[in-house]
Structure 1
Amino acid sequence: MITSLKHSVNVLIEALPVDHGDMAEHEAEADELEQALRGAVRGDVSFDAASRALMTMDASNYRRVPTGVVAPRDADDVAAALAVCREHGVPVVARGAGTSIAGQATGLGVVLDFTRHMRSIRSLDPEQRTAVVQPGVILDELRTAAGAHGLTFGPDPSTHSRCTLGGMIGNNSCGSHSVAWGTTADNVHALDVLTYGGERVRAAQGLDALPARLRDGMRSLAGDHLALLRTGFPELPRRISGYALDELLPEKNADVARALTGSEGTLGVLTEATVRLVEAPAARALAVLGYPDESAAAEAAHTLLPYGPLTVEGMAADLVAGASGLPKGGAWLFVEVGGSGREEAYARAEEIARAAAHATTDHTVVADPAGQRALWRVREDASGTATRMPDGSEAWPGWEDCAVPPARLGAYLRDFRALMAQHGLRGTPYGHFGDGCIHVRIDFDLMREAGVRVFRDFSTDLADLVVTHGGSLSGEHGDGLARAELLPRMYGDEMVGLFHRFKDLWDPANGLNPGVLARPRRLDQDLRFDVLPRRPVDVEFGYPHDGGDFSAAVRRCVGVAKCRNESVSGASVMCPSYRATGEEQHSTRGRARLLHEMLAGEVVQDGWRSEEVRDALDLCLSCKGCRSDCPVGVDMATYKAEFLHHHYEGRVRPAGHYSMGWLPVWLRAAASLRAAPVANAASGVGFLSTLAKRMGGIAPERDIPELAREPFTRWWRGHVRTVPREAARTVVLWPDTFTNYLSPSVGQAAVRVLESAGLRVVVPPKPVCCGLTWVSTGQLDRARTVMRRTLDVMAPALDAGLPVVGLEPSCTAALRTDLPELLGSDDPRAARLASSVQTFAQALETHAPDWEPPKVDRPVVGQTHCHQHAVLGDAADRRLRERAGLTGELSGGCCGLAGNFGFEAGHYDVSVACAEDQLLPSVRAADENAEVLADGFSCRTQLDHLTDRPSRHLAELLAERLS
């Protein structure tokens, strides 16, 4: 029985009006449920607004509000939670990483979050090629453990760095290598599940070990409908839709594990799984085949299958515009093969390229692992990049993964394109061409009723089209809320009636993920856009890539959760605070979800005054890593600055906002009073230092940086110019606050190098500032004033068309992005200044291309500044280091100090954890003769605080070697 609390949850979700008396009763029932759960489970129980808000959405178009969240510690905890929910009549949804794109991971009632505790690999048997895992195990963790034995888990969705095995089993996930290794169902041996009714079930082949009720019920269901089960399912590699009732046939040994795989958490809650492993190729090679267009690539894909590829992936030029390393063509097939060594793999890839040559426009074969990873990254990010059309308009999932027989893919894609045109829609298909499965994001207008009607009409027509081609409505991600309503069009009413009977057998109380698969909700219900404001929100930044609409900026996050990647991934930065804490609210996606709910006003009800949003943004380092690493370009640093501006408007701010936010003013005052010696001496006196830190909101663990005795600009006024005025290209050296007052040696070194390259250096005649410290603390009115004053000073240089050279990456990035986005179109000089800004290396490469840097010939270690990675780019720096004989790669990540962040009280532990992610391990492992490079003042300060290795700006290293 579903009691009044479950009814109240559904009422809230459907946004029906509730009077205050009912609301009080619902809150009391929720409190009673929370207390019962706290008394029953050892894991985490969270009913607060932030925890609920984080679970309202997955990577789909849908939103459902849960009552609470439980993170169980083990199977007994799951059983206890189910018992409490059963007693209170509350539904339960099991959730992994929340990357489902059909809505089945959105919450009703209580969400069981398996990513916190139940994420261990219980055993791994390399001889039997099996592993026993808990549902929260991340796929890449299993693949790493199996890789030590030359094995892997075959299915590999593009979210492999964060998706969980439980989620993969729930959705019957596939990934790009299903051509070789099949779906998740093909790789599942046995499942341990708990039903909503409390039964513990070991699901494998055969019915005899099941509880009598389930055994007899499934025997009857299959035995009474043998003909329908044998003929009612289309034969194709990617048939994921509906319940896999054909797996109960006697000729398939009644494989209950396979029948439960893909049931989307509607039949039982997984507590443990035994999965099969496969042998991983010793080496791989990638043949990238170019074709004139998408149809040609689709027609060719199935013809390559006889060559035994590991995968055949397809994408068109409108998805990967600007990507490097691709051969000529309008569309491409990525065909990966394996071999016993690199030579064999390369030869097999070449064989496929030759066999396909009659239809291709060009091809390339890549055997280098790094080169392959770079190309695969283009494909894996497509689920995010496809959410923006080439003109910047939004595109959405919903019909993300239909599948047809591979030989019919070309014809299906032509009909699919025609159907989109008929409905006035656009999309960019890509995906698993070798399996006949495509992904696509379509520019549905889900913010207006007329657009939602088009969404519904198109969905109905497309379902009929897929069935006409002998396909499946879902070929990978499940039906969820997006397609389950249309299952009768694929299977007919009789088969769908069996789906309902199967659901009722396993879950007679309808307590597990109601509204999904069996007796589904309408596909145009529960849309996450329904609750958003229809008018633009009054904001400070211009949001030029989102039409000036803050709501559209927040909508950028579609939930693919690349920010939840816990592993070190090359030069990536995003998301350092999540990697340090492992908590969803401190990921880019989590913060975007809370901002979405803030705009909705249902769960997070205080708008810009929300403490839930403030607390989540508190650990955002404003590193801007998401601006480049997020596939859809979420810019959480800007959203944080926007939020802080409104949150503290007219209110007293934290002490750090006054001390570090106004740092340029305090440093300029100290310099004008020539107070550096006194200030430095005072910072070394224990009680004075402690008092200053407490008053300034500075972490007690931090040392206060010393002020330079002579600022850079004062040194500059006495500097003897070494380049004739008439013989040189003039550049403006930007005297940022950190270089000017805290690290003038960097500015002096830069002048020496630039002048040695034949450039005439000038410095602004009056103080200038990018406004970064005010932006990062959300003091945007003051930041705007500072920026406009700076533009007044820079006006003559801008009129003269002089390039501006930045030394501090964070300040240079602020000039490039924050300044024009905050001033917007009000002052055209902002865009001119932004376009004139270059990094130190870019300026040398552009304006002194024939200059030869001094040879240093040493290895380097350190970290690419996160703002340089995200905004400015480091290609010119790499080339400059190479020309100077500096060898080695700099790490990714963020140093953790990040301007004011690491100095603020309460941030020290997270700051250090961020440094320990990539920077500090790379420095410790480096040769003692390696130069530690760090162009950012924060990075150098963090290294100085946490290591005994001195670090320098690249300009200092080069200047030292000048004759």
Structure 2
Amino acid sequence: METLGMSPSKEQEYKDIEADLKKRIEGEVRFDKYSRLLYSTDASMYEIEPIGVVIPRHKGDVQAAIETAKRFEVPILPRGGGTALAGQTVGHAIVLDFSKYMNRVLEVNQEELWCRVEPGLVQDELNAHVRPMGLLFGPDTSTSNRATIGGMIGNNSAGAHSLTYGKTLDHVLELTVYLSDGSEVVLKDLSFGELGAKVAQDNLEGRIYREIARLAEEHKQEILARYPKIMRRVSGYNLDEFAKPKPFNLSRMVVGSEGTLACVVEAKMRLVPKPKWTALDVIHFEDDIAALEASHAILETAPYALESTDKLVLDLARGNIVQSKRLGFVQGSPSSLLMVEYAGDTEAAVREQVDKLEKLRQSRKIGYAATQAFKPEEVRAVWGVRKAGLGLLLGIKGDKKPIAFVEDTAVEPAKLPEFIKRFREILTRHDARAGYYGHCSVGCMHIRPLINLKQEGEVKKMVAIADEIAELVLEFHGALSGEHGDGLARSHFNERLYGPVLYNAFRQIKRSFDPNNLMNPGKIVDAPAMTESLRISPAYKTWAPETLLDFSGQGGFAAAVEMCSGMGECRKKLDGTMCPSYMATLDEEHSTRGRANALRAVLSGKVPNRDFSGKRLYEVLDLCLECKACKAECPSNVDMAKLKYEFLSHYYRANGLPLRNRLFGRIEKWNRWGSRLAPFSNWLANSRPNRWLLELLAGVDRRRPLPRFARETFEDWHRNHRPEGKESRGEVVLFHDTFNTFNTPSVAITATLLLERSGYRVVVPEKRCCGRPMISKGMLREAKENAAKNVQSLFPYAERGVAIVGLEPSCLLTLRDEYPDLLRTQASKLVARQSFLLEEFLLRERDAGRLSLAFKSNGRKALLHGHCHQKALVGTAPTLAVLRWAGFEVSEIDSGCCGMAGSFGFEKEHYDLSVAIANRRLVPAVQASGSEVRVVASGISCRQQIEHLADRRAKHPAEVLWEQVEK
């Protein structure tokens, strides 16, 4: 293990702990510096380096880790998705990451409506498992695609539908846990006799039962007086649950305890019937307080959910690639939206409920407009924007960030408008702007003031705001946390909120479960000040590497790294593209967040500056496929591909450029020679001796078929081509990429014929390779030379307004995305603006009335796999629209990345991962389609992967469009 800055005695202790764990753990034990840094943060403002990380394979590993922690007298900290907003999952402890292996559904009982699961199971994955049974797990956090059930139990999470389903506490039936002495116990409803037996036990479990029963009875009156009488309260311990006439169930104390009392290894959870139909009425307001005041009347209509979001969130959504496409339901520029959802057994039933609300809205003049969403895709779009609220706010550029410290207050819903007015007055006095969104139905609003934690005065402002808001919460008999928990941000307020008597009872609860204070200490009781262990603080400093790419739009390279807020959207697995390597490995190191944390550690001095060109950072970034999905799907728009390009440039300048990088980076040169020497080159390239030699010398996996060279290149064909028909619509430049020139010229040929049939004269200019292969391999200086030559060639056309049309998304979009960053010139920006994918161009011309094509009406079916760069920068909507225009009944695979990523899938150390990524969703979807379905993919790498693994030939959109044209 690496022990930078550690005393010799502490270093030896950590080595002993690591050795002890490795002897006993069947899972993974990681004590290296980078692994510790990756687990030093979560989605909060805090950073504490752990002692080490254990990734248990089964509950025996958990028990062994707890016993080791007890033996060495060091803390233990259970962790799920690391999405905690208050710092619950960071600490100087042995971190247990349950998300990689302990993530199974163990049992589902459809008749009795319950399931047994492991704590690392993600909420959306549980719902995907039980949805075919007509069931769901009720609490639904905005982080449902990466939040684990164990984390929801530890936090007592709720979500948008808590109005209907309540909190996680209301759905926990039974927990299997390990106590601080390593003993395994089951916590469930006990009869009077069973409770008596537990109380009589002469062990830690017995002591806990005796103490909780005593404290609940002794403090019954104080509990009634001090606990907020609202549904949304998760601060402190749930001692109030034991003052109610219910069967004694100690799981209710563990829920919401943030890992400070016990470690959950299995949970029996209640399930609920899934509504058959849902619909939304989205009401628009010119004033956000008016929206909150209207919510009381709307609640009388018994909605399924009632949520609010403000103008700041909507404005940020407009600037986000993914969210901007979902905003079709927004009318005008509202100050606030209320999203009112109804559920029922039939579509007619929910339509009736929406109609009733509309009559109420119009009679009482509620809002200035409303949009109804009945179709599932419309409902998903609205919820997508609402769930993205947190991430969108965190993506605000600059040093002032929306910080989570008073973002989870809750009061009685009827008091909410007045409470928010007072809250806003406090922020105004402190000159603090904030974003507002949340669960107005239950009085819990998420308000995040923008604070610059790099400035001492701003940190003091944060403390002052927190202090005043705590007093405001007390005045309104509310809670400082309605669902996000105490953690490091709020635990220090618990004595003030609950009073000294109950706070002392909390301490006794903690001691009864954890006499040696080893279970995630410093949370809920005996917490440090909220300003300790800040990730970004006045002491935080970064150094800035000199970059070849332009990062000024992000505020510099370090600021581009700091765009990552830690919220972990990159850990989702079921949909989208981000992050393909995480989806396949389930390893924090191979998530966008993990990579950003590693880069930030180097830039901020947590590890030496020389690591910026070091092997360990290279390993962390190595499995980034440069798909750009994070640029679109990360709500904060972290562009990890761009960061990796820059890193690789520095890394190879320091360590030398490998042979394989030279081969792949200069692929145009080799392809040109390959075509000249074809067919001999095809025989030679794929001969067994050559494949063995390529694997030995350059690490090109011999299992992967190499692309074939065309004897007649597209350039050869075009030189001899004589267009037929009229060229009445002027010029169009065809940017013929390397692959469609030398490997699959049929694509460029059919694109040319299609454009000519559309009435354009196709110009094929002198050019170089776009530079994409060089950029991907860290050869930025060579890529810049190519970019400059290409812009010089293309600029005269762009200046005249001539469109530059490309066929390979990764190549054409290099002109749009990387050229302005490489060259930083107005000419490159103009070329970028005039560059279009073929489908974009055809659609633009048709919609402008300048183009009409006659297609066969044979009703063929098509299955589209979108290219990653296209999905991130353009979207697949133009391709879908053009295919439908051509008469195809087309559906799109939610396939994520194909796993090839240019050269990545050819590389020996990456081949298996490349195959695993494709086999997750893409290959099964293609194999499930009938032979009559045309598989369409614009990327050559995508088509290669589909043919290699699914044994189907996918075609480029240009090819299938040309097939459909009436000749």
**What TM-score results when the alignment is normalised by the length of structure 1?**
0.93
CA distance in 2: counterparts of 1:182 and 1:250, whole angstroms: 17
Aligned counterparts, 1:273-292, within 5 A: 273-292=267-286
| 2:585 alignment counterpart | 581
| 2:512 alignment counterpart | 505
* Equivalent of 1:354 in 355, 359, 364: 359
Instruction: Report if the CA contact (8 A) 1:532-1:551 is conserved.
Output: no
CA distance in 2: counterparts of 1:929 and 1:896, whole angstroms: 25
Instruction: Report if the CA contact (8 A) 1:170-1:263 is conserved.
Output: yes
* Equivalent of 1:63 in 41, 44, 47: 47
Structure 2 residue 162 is matched with structure 1 residue 178: yes
Structure 1 pair 537–479 and aligned structure 2 pair: CA distance change class (3 A): farther
CA distance in 2: counterparts of 1:693 and 1:796, whole angstroms: 44
Instruction: Report if the CA contact (8 A) 2:884-2:890 is conserved.
Output: no
Letter in 1 for 2:145: S
Q: How far did residue 90 of structure 1 move?
A: 0.6
Structure 1 pair 711–552 and aligned structure 2 pair: CA distance change class (3 A): same
Q: Indicate the SS of the match to 1:441.
A: strand
Q: How far did residue 535 of structure 1 move?
A: 4.9
CA distance in 2: counterparts of 1:756 and 1:394, whole angstroms: 53
CA distance in 1: counterparts of 2:102 and 2:755, whole angstroms: 56
Instruction: Report if the CA contact (8 A) 2:491-2:525 is conserved.
Output: yes
Instruction: Report if the CA contact (8 A) 2:395-2:635 is conserved.
Output: no
| 1:542 alignment counterpart | 550
Q: Which region of structure 1 is more displaced relative to structure 2, 190-199 or 910-919?
A: 190-199
Instruction: Report if the CA contact (8 A) 2:219-2:502 is conserved.
Output: no
| 1:473 alignment counterpart | 480
Q: How far did residue 574 of structure 1 move?
A: 1.3
Aligned counterparts, 1:525-674, within 5 A: 525-530=532-537, 532-547=540-555, 549-567=556-574, 569=575, 572-602=576-606, 606-670=610-674, 674=676
CA distance in 1: counterparts of 2:189 and 2:963, whole angstroms: 72
| 2:261 alignment counterpart | 267
Q: Sequence identity of aligned pairs in percent?
A: 36
Q: Which region of structure 1 is more displaced relative to structure 2, 431-440 or 942-951?
A: 942-951
Q: How far did residue 713 of structure 1 move?
A: 2.2
| 2:323 alignment counterpart | none
Instruction: Report if the CA contact (8 A) 1:862-1:891 is conserved.
Output: yes
Aligned counterparts, 1:221-300, within 5 A: 221-249=215-243, 251-300=245-294
Instruction: Report if the CA contact (8 A) 2:396-2:636 is conserved.
Output: no
Letter in 2 for 1:166: G
CA distance in 2: counterparts of 1:723 and 1:399, whole angstroms: 68
CA distance in 1: counterparts of 2:37 and 2:607, whole angstroms: 6
Structure 1 pair 153–943 and aligned structure 2 pair: CA distance change class (3 A): closer
Q: How far did residue 508 of structure 1 move?
A: 1.9
Letter in 2 for 1:711: T
Instruction: Report if the CA contact (8 A) 2:395-2:637 is conserved.
Output: no
Q: How far did residue 235 of structure 1 move?
A: 0.8
Structure 2 residue 57 is matched with structure 1 residue 90: no
Q: Which ranges of structure 2 fall in alignment gaps of 5 or more residues?
A: 200-204, 319-326
Letter in 2 for 1:911: S
Q: How far did residue 230 of structure 1 move?
A: 1.3
Structure 1 pair 793–327 and aligned structure 2 pair: CA distance change class (3 A): closer
Q: How far did residue 459 of structure 1 move?
A: 1.8
Q: How far did residue 606 of structure 1 move?
A: 4.7
CA distance in 1: counterparts of 2:128 and 2:903, whole angstroms: 37
* Equivalent of 2:864 in 859, 862, 883: 862
Instruction: Report if the CA contact (8 A) 1:289-1:353 is conserved.
Output: no
Aligned counterparts, 1:908-923, within 5 A: 908-923=911-926
| 2:324 alignment counterpart | none
Q: How far did residue 604 of structure 1 move?
A: 7.4
Q: Which region of structure 1 is more displaced relative to structure 2, 385-394 or 338-347?
A: 385-394
CA distance in 2: counterparts of 1:277 and 1:961, whole angstroms: 50
Instruction: Report if the CA contact (8 A) 1:350-1:365 is conserved.
Output: no
Instruction: Report if the CA contact (8 A) 2:473-2:480 is conserved.
Output: yes
CA distance in 2: counterparts of 1:147 and 1:746, whole angstroms: 42
CA distance in 1: counterparts of 2:684 and 2:25, whole angstroms: 53
Q: Indicate the SS of the match to 1:601.
A: coil
| 2:878 alignment counterpart | 876
Q: Indicate the SS of the match to 2:48.
A: coil
Letter in 2 for 1:539: T
| 1:377 alignment counterpart | 384
Q: Indicate the SS of the match to 1:861.
A: strand
Q: Indicate the SS of the match to 1:375.
A: helix
CA distance in 2: counterparts of 1:806 and 1:544, whole angstroms: 28
| 2:783 alignment counterpart | 783
Q: Which region of structure 1 is more displaced relative to structure 2, 740-749 or 494-503?
A: 494-503
CA distance in 2: counterparts of 1:137 and 1:263, whole angstroms: 19
Q: Indicate the SS of the match to 1:190.
A: strand
| 1:493 alignment counterpart | 500
Structure 1 pair 894–228 and aligned structure 2 pair: CA distance change class (3 A): same
* Equivalent of 1:214 in 208, 211, 226: 208
Query: Which deviations, in whole Å up to 9, do the C-alpha atoms of 1:4-34 show, x marking residues without a partner?
Result: x9xx99xx9xxxxx6xxx6222111111011
Q: How far did residue 100 of structure 1 move?
A: 0.7
Q: How far did residue 859 of structure 1 move?
A: 0.6
Letter in 2 for 1:127: E
CA distance in 2: counterparts of 1:611 and 1:230, whole angstroms: 59
Instruction: Report if the CA contact (8 A) 1:52-1:69 is conserved.
Output: yes
CA distance in 1: counterparts of 2:808 and 2:661, whole angstroms: 21
Query: Which deviations, in whole Å up to 9, do the C-alpha atoms of 1:826-853 show, x marking residues without a partner?
Result: x221111111111112212223533124
Q: Which ranges of structure 1 fall in alignment gaps of 5 or more residues?
A: 13-17
| 1:15 alignment counterpart | none
CA distance in 1: counterparts of 2:171 and 2:486, whole angstroms: 21
Instruction: Report if the CA contact (8 A) 2:864-2:890 is conserved.
Output: no
Letter in 1 for 2:913: V
* Equivalent of 1:682 in 677, 681, 684: 684
Alignment length, in residue pairs?
A: 937
Q: Which region of structure 1 is more displaced relative to structure 2, 688-697 or 713-722?
A: 688-697
Q: Indicate the SS of the match to 1:650.
A: helix
Instruction: Report if the CA contact (8 A) 1:49-1:604 is conserved.
Output: no
Structure 1 pair 149–661 and aligned structure 2 pair: CA distance change class (3 A): same
CA RMSD of aligned residues (A): 2.3
Q: Indicate the SS of the match to 1:620.
A: coil
Query: Which deviations, in whole Å up to 9, do the C-alpha atoms of 1:580-609 show, x marking residues without a partner?
Result: 222221222222222222223335775213
Instruction: Report if the CA contact (8 A) 1:159-1:380 is conserved.
Output: yes
Structure 1 pair 795–60 and aligned structure 2 pair: CA distance change class (3 A): same
CA distance in 2: counterparts of 1:741 and 1:718, whole angstroms: 16
| 2:8 alignment counterpart | 24
Instruction: Report if the CA contact (8 A) 1:147-1:280 is conserved.
Output: yes
* Equivalent of 1:927 in 916, 927, 930: 930
| 1:703 alignment counterpart | 705
CA distance in 2: counterparts of 1:153 and 1:686, whole angstroms: 54
**What TM-score results when the alignment is normalised by the length of structure 2?**
0.93
* Equivalent of 1:898 in 898, 901, 904: 901
| 2:771 alignment counterpart | 771
Instruction: Report if the CA contact (8 A) 2:542-2:603 is conserved.
Output: no
| 2:795 alignment counterpart | 795
Instruction: Report if the CA contact (8 A) 1:656-1:696 is conserved.
Output: yes
Q: How far did residue 391 of structure 1 move?
A: 8.7
Structure 2 residue 199 is matched with structure 1 residue 191: no
Letter in 2 for 1:790: N
Instruction: Report if the CA contact (8 A) 2:488-2:530 is conserved.
Output: yes
Letter in 2 for 1:66: P
| 1:806 alignment counterpart | 806
CA distance in 2: counterparts of 1:748 and 1:528, whole angstroms: 55
Q: Indicate the SS of the match to 2:108.
A: strand
Instruction: Report if the CA contact (8 A) 1:287-1:350 is conserved.
Output: no
* Equivalent of 1:336 in 330, 338, 341: 341
Q: How far did residue 292 of structure 1 move?
A: 2.3
* Equivalent of 2:124 in 140, 160, 179: 140
Letter in 2 for 1:215: Y
Structure 1 pair 431–802 and aligned structure 2 pair: CA distance change class (3 A): same
CA distance in 2: counterparts of 1:538 and 1:444, whole angstroms: 28
Q: How far did residue 442 of structure 1 move?
A: 3.0
CA distance in 2: counterparts of 1:421 and 1:833, whole angstroms: 45
CA distance in 1: counterparts of 2:400 and 2:736, whole angstroms: 39
Q: Indicate the SS of the match to 1:716.
A: helix
Query: Which deviations, in whole Å up to 9, do the C-alpha atoms of 1:904-938 show, x marking residues without a partner?
Result: 22111111122222222221111211112111111
Structure 1 pair 652–536 and aligned structure 2 pair: CA distance change class (3 A): closer
